[in-house]
Amino acid sequence: MKELGENLSFLRRENGVTISEASHDLGITPKELECIENGNFKVFKDVYELKNAIISYAKYLGMDEKIIQDEFNEYLFEKTSKISKDDIKEAIKKEETKEEKVSSPYTKVVKTRYDFAPIVLLVVLLVFISLVVYLLLANLRSDDKVTKELLGKGDIIELTK
């Protein structure tokens, strides 16, 4: 971030602008502008005030706002993150090059997936078979009644040739 301050200082001098002129135009105190150029950010109350001051100053001197925001966010990430950027990059590389380990079927963890379609199909099939059996039995019983009525209420008649 100190490099950014040095770049801002260089641009200011190259454009022939004094700190008091920039301070007047931006509404930022000369002390704050000097601190930005020196890389001393403890003068600012919070990070948002610092970020706004840096972006305003950079735009005032003709720098690209997007680049300044990216640099500031990177600086802030490095200062506040508990995980370093190098560790993150290394973890991403490991994840990209991760290979499947060879394992036997006895040690491999198999994810169980419950599929209810075969169970539902089995139940429907059993209900259908039960219905067919019931209708056949009901039909045979009704045929026996008709036969008994035709034969004369329980009389057994043998038909022979």
Q: Which residue, among 63, 64, 35, has the nearest Cα to 49 in the 3D structure?
A: 35
Q: What is the pLDDT of residues 44-97, one digit of tens each?
A: 888 888 888 888 888 888 888 888 888 888 877 777 766 777 877 888 887 777
Higher pLDDT, 5 or 105: 5
Which residue's structure tokens are 């019931």? Answer: 134
CA 118, 120, 123, 124 dihedral sign is negative
Q: What is the pLDDT of residues 22-45, one digit of tens each?
A: 889 989 888 988 888 888 878 888
Domain containing 57 — which CATH number? 1.10.260.40
> Do 12 and 74 belong together in one domain?
yes
Output the pTM of the full model.
Answer: 0.49
> Do 7 and 66 belong together in one domain?
yes
Q: Each residue of 106-125: b (16+ CB within 10 Å) or e?
A: eeeeeeeeeeeeeeeeeeee
The 3-state DSSP class for residue 149 equals: helix
Rounded CA-CA distance 11/34 in Å is 13
> Do 27 and 72 belong together in one domain?
yes
pLDDT over 80 at 149, yes or no: no
| 60 falls within a domain | yes
Higher pLDDT, 81 or 118: 118
Domain total in the chain: 2
Q: What is the pLDDT of residues 127-146, one digit of tens each?
A: 999 999 998 888 777 655 55
